């Protein structure tokens, strides 16, 4: 099974910008792996922020955006807020081999 890699932890200052990345052991991440991004906060249902690389749901704050960057999927947070402190997971879909989550990034806003 493919391995999906994320930064274990990142820190961003309030109002700052940070980029989280999502890599694949199979090589370059393309739109064909349909990258997703999720936010997990304690005591809350997980929330899907980005689907299919860069598409947002109606509930996705405008400060979050998804892209492909340097052979990886990327989630960029511009103008970090205290409530953005959370764990973020990406998901890549490998067709018949199924979807695989990354190990998650713990984002601290400090």
Partner 1 sequence: QLHLQESGPGLVKPSETLSLTCTVSGDSITNHDYHWGWIRQPPGKGLEWIGSIYYGGNTYYNPSLKGRITILADASKNQFSLKVTSVTAADTAVYYCARVLGPTGPDFWGQGTLVTVSS
Does the protein bind partner 1 through residue 54 (CB under 8 A)? no
C-beta closer to partner 1: residue 15 or 98: 98
Does the protein bind partner 1 through residue 64 (CB under 8 A)? no
C-beta closer to partner 1: residue 23 or 102: 102
Q: From start to end of the chain, where are the E strands?
A: 4-6, 9-12, 17-24, 36-40, 47-51, 55-56, 64-69, 72-78, 86-93, 99-101, 105-109
- Number of residues forming the site for partner 1 (CB under 8 A): 24
Question: CB of residue 20 vs partner 1: minimum separation in angstroms?
Answer: 14
Dihedral pair phi/psi, residue 55, rounded to 5°: -85, 140
């Amino acid at each position: 099974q493919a391995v999906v890699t994320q930064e274990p932890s990142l820190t961003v200052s309030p109002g700052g910008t940070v980029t989280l990345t999502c890599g694949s052991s199979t090589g370059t991440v393309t739109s064909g792996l349909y990258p997703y991004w999720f936010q997990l906060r304690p005591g809350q249902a997980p929330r899907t922020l980005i689907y299919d690389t860069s598409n947002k749901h109606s509930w996705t704050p405008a400060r979050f955006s998804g892209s492909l960057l340097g052979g990886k999927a990327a989630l960029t947070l511009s103008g970090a807020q205290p409530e953005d402190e959370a764990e973020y997971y990406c998901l890549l879909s490998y067709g018949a081999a199924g979807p695989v989550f990354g190990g998650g990034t713990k984002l601290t806003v400090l």
